[in-house]
Amino acid sequence: MNVSERVALVTGGSRGIGKAIVFALAKAGAKVAFVYQSNQEAADQIVTDLTSQGHEVYAIKADVSQKSEADAAIENVVSKWGRLDILVNNAGIIRDKLVLAMSAEEWHEVINTNLSSVFNFCQAAIRPMMSNRFGRIVNMSSVAADFSNPGQANYAASKAGIEGFSRCLATEYAKRGITVNCVAPGFIETDMTVAVVNAAGDKVKNSIPVKRLGKPEDIANAVLFLASEESSYITGQVLKVDGGLTLGGMG
Ligand code: NAP
């Protein structure tokens, strides 16, 4: 996959899936900036590991739900490296509750962090991408966008919103050389899923046709493809990376 010399920004790059995406893009030759919220130690370690291997990587502390912080992060990258080619909107959270128990704050926190952040970063990224007539935007959805999981109304709404937003954005900027796609992971082993997986034991693994949880690298490989030159004829799509979880078979 050719991303050599491309400039990339990944949100939520300090842990889990985002960290694997930062590594995949950097190792494939891109210059990578990544956003984290609070986990500075993890962010510093990634920068140390990758720069010591000769890769160009740095971290930006920002809250993706804040428009001004998204604008500043994109400006920071463009002023440092002169361009922005690849944007991966990966940062996300869960605050699972049944609707009657869900506070307005839990609703807004998930919608703002998962969905409004995608608007915040895409809007700021479009101009620099248009001026190069090249852009790759990959937004992190989830199989939960299509599921009806009790307790995930806020999360499912945010992810379904990301998919709708991405389709519209794809049509608006396709003629400018900018593609916009989503990746929808199934169950991936990260901090986000550890509690569910521990509680459900082998039930989760057994519900997946390939009989294993996904690794962050499984998602990073799909993102790398959608961020590369080679994916130029794919836009407005949702790529499920879920080991067959959504195929609906009998196992
Ligand atoms: P994770 O391990 O919990 O990591 C979340 C990342 O997002 C961290 O880097 C965190 O930064 C960052 N973040 C959270 N809120 C932020 C904010 N307001 N501003 C800036 N950064 C913020 O999550 P993950 O499992 O890797 O999930 C990554 C994405 O994949 C999410 O969008 C999630 O919805 C999606 N996804 C995950 C799964 C799964 O099975 N894991 C399945 C489907 C979809 P700090 O380290 O500083 O806290």
The enclosing domain of 124 has a CATH number of 3.40.50.720
Residue 67 inside a domain? The answer is yes
Residue 152 counted as domain residue: yes
Is 138 within the bounds of a domain? yes
Kindly state whether residue 249 falls inside one of the protein's structural domains.
no
Computed over every residue of the chain, the mean pLDDT equals 97
Residue 142 in any domain: the answer is yes
- CA dist., res. 8 & res. 135, Å (int): 10
Q: How many domains does the chain divide into? A: 1
- Contact (CB, 8 A) for 227 and 138: yes
Domain that holds residue 22: 7-241
- Please report where in the chains the tokens 């493809």 appear, as a residue: 225
Ligand 1, residue 159: give the atom nearest the CA. 34
The answer to whether residue 2 is domain-embedded is: no
- Report the pocket of ligand 1 as residue ranges, CB < 6 Å: 11-18, 35-39, 42, 62-65, 90-93, 113, 140, 142, 185, 187-188, 190-193
- Cα(140) to ligand 1 centroid in Å equals 9
Q: Catalytic residue numbers?
A: 155
Q: Say if 44 falls within a structural domain.
A: yes
Residues 203-218, mean pLDDT to the nearest whole number: 95
Give the tokens for residue 159. Answer: 């992810």
| 101-114 per-position pLDDT tens digit | 999 999 999 999 99
Name 164's Cβ contacts closer than 8 Å, sequence gap at least 6: none
Would the pLDDT of 57 be above 60?
A: yes
Residue 162 CA, ligand 1 centroid: distance in Å:
15
For 129-172, how does the pLDDT look when each residue is reduced to its tens digit (9 = 90+)? Answer: 999 999 999 999 999 999 999 999 999 999 999 999 999 999 99
Nearest alpha-carbon partner for 202 in 211, 189, 191, 194: 211
Alpha-helical regions (H) of the chain: 16-27, 40-52, 67-81, 104-110, 117-132, 153-173, 194-200, 202-206, 216-226
- Cβ(113)–Cβ(107) below 8 Å: no
Residue 237 lies in a domain: yes
pLDDT in tens, 1-35: 899 999 999 999 999 999 999 999 999 999 999 99
